[in-house]
Structure 1
């Protein structure tokens, strides 16, 4: 069974073609600079050397046409009927979707209706979906939503203390993001612990340029740091995370900034970038090692805010089986993991410094023998999780139609 996973952005399409019999990646690629003068298609067949070609990609139609032509030319997809389905990443599903959905006119309508909640993402996802349907009209298409995993949050966790009509009429609530990643690593963590996911309590930390933490009780998300938008929560590469909301009004009055300027400042020029001028954690470490005090402050703030959420989610969960680090930073930054776990004996967290420097793959426990909970480093795979969920969606449809 072959499943193609598409992640369509406004000027790019990221994809993977899986053979789900053994979950092998047959092709992984990225088409970028769609609509610009020199769009490029970067792809790799299995573990072969990467290939980079210039294409005619002035719109998503041409980009996807180039993608399917490449798959055919490489004999990875000789006929469309070889595809079991196409799985699409969709950032926002609002309150409509708790599970992946087989795409039809109603699903497209719901994705369209929540565009105001994800104006930078959902329109691009829709372009990819509509073009994939046009070019592969007989192939089932499945939408997998970043927000779906967090739809199990209780109302007292997802509601904001604002007038009720803002929720009931305008959808102002906590939705949470990175749900595909949190779900994937939660499943992997339960397997690593040898427990059913339905009996496992976790704190999962997805740490990349965007970052979020989730409290998972008996396999379900009951709280998460990102809110109505991905701006809330942890300090990130260029996003501020939690701040006093009145800062918005102060900036407007004191600096005469427009809403658009403040939104750009908080999303693109804050976080680590705002403190030290850089948002790449590797660069920030090099700067700190060279004596840059701003970089040192950025690192200290980043780790400190993560620790606060860990403590809060211990209080929410009561019992924690494992702390899980994932994402580009979570998987690769030993210093940060050590800082997040330092002086946490109150919670039974004890990190093994040697294991932390070289965690085993794919699920490394870097906790000491006397740690009351596992401290896991797990490589996330959102594309594989999308493929798995798409396959389950198809099976459920086939089962219900019998």
Structure 2
């Protein structure tokens, strides 16, 4: 699960961006964490800020809890009766649904559809868990696969054709 741009069409044409620091934990990403606990952990860990960010972005989530980042491996663990793996995987799905609910609240529930995408959307188990808790908001559509490169290329083409202005994104630290 990568940076997601969730576009909600309302009268004000709101656009919400969820980046890799927000939202639920993922296969490798820690997601949102309680700030006071995080500050305490950082102070006690002896890690540099760079090391801490690396840990949160690539050694969090499923990796931290289960030692793997592949949903297929997690699902095998669950099939083999690993209750801890099931607990963690179900928690990840529930947190995705919670974030969907949070975003729905920002547009007063005016959501036409929820689209689940990315590699994890190939998982019927995971998407069904998300659906259980999010279908009350809007229909859930599962569109597996990652289309980041295609989206970037099409965006560049729109700029070259004069259909859209290029945006400059400045990284802030």
For normalisation by structure 2, the TM-score amounts to 0.78
Equivalent position SS for 2:8: strand
Corresponding residue of 2:117: 326
Corresponding residue of 2:36: 246
Q: 1:327 to 1:251 in 2, by over 3 A?
A: same
Q: 1:385 to 1:233 in 2, by over 3 A?
A: same
Matched, 1:225 2:26: no
Structure 1 segments, 4+ long, off by >4 Å, are: 218-221, 343-346
1:376 deviation in Å? 1.7
Matched, 1:377 2:169: no
Name the CA distance, whole Å, in 2 between partners of 1:254 and 1:266. 16
Name the CA distance, whole Å, in 2 between partners of 1:338 and 1:308. 14
1:278 deviation in Å? 0.9
Equivalent position SS for 2:31: coil
Q: 1:221 to 1:234 in 2, by over 3 A?
A: farther
Bigger proportion of residues as helix: 2
Equivalent residues of 2:23, 2:96 under 8 A apart: no
Aligned pair count reads 160
Aligned-pair Cα RMSD in Å: 2.5
Structure 2 unmatched runs, 5+: 164-173
Identify the structure with bigger relative contact order (alpha carbons < 8 Å, sequence gap 6+).
2
Name the CA distance, whole Å, in 2 between partners of 1:239 and 1:344. 22
1:343 deviation in Å? 4.7
Name the CA distance, whole Å, in 2 between partners of 1:253 and 1:311. 33
Structure 1 unmatched runs, 5+: 1-207, 348-372, 398-402
Equivalent residues of 2:25, 2:32 under 8 A apart: yes
Q: 1:254 to 1:315 in 2, by over 3 A?
A: same
Equivalent residues of 2:94, 2:133 under 8 A apart: no
Name the CA distance, whole Å, in 2 between partners of 1:257 and 1:241. 19
Equivalent position SS for 1:307: helix
Matched, 1:214 2:10: no
Name the CA distance, whole Å, in 2 between partners of 1:211 and 1:326. 11
For normalisation by structure 1, the TM-score amounts to 0.36
Name the CA distance, whole Å, in 2 between partners of 1:256 and 1:238. 22
Matched, 1:304 2:94: yes
Q: 1:388 to 1:259 in 2, by over 3 A?
A: closer
Q: 1:294 to 1:217 in 2, by over 3 A?
A: same
Matched, 1:270 2:60: yes
1:394 deviation in Å? 2.2
Q: 1:338 to 1:213 in 2, by over 3 A?
A: farther
Bigger proportion of residues as strand: 1
Equivalent residues of 2:117, 2:142 under 8 A apart: yes
Name the CA distance, whole Å, in 2 between partners of 1:257 and 1:387. 38
Matched, 1:289 2:107: no
Q: How does 1:2-401 map to 2 (within 5 A)?
A: 208=1, 210=2, 212=4, 214-218=6-10, 220=13, 222-226=15-19, 230-317=20-107, 318-330=109-121, 332-344=122-134, 346-347=136-137, 373-379=138-144, 380-396=146-162
Equivalent residues of 1:214, 1:221 under 8 A apart: no
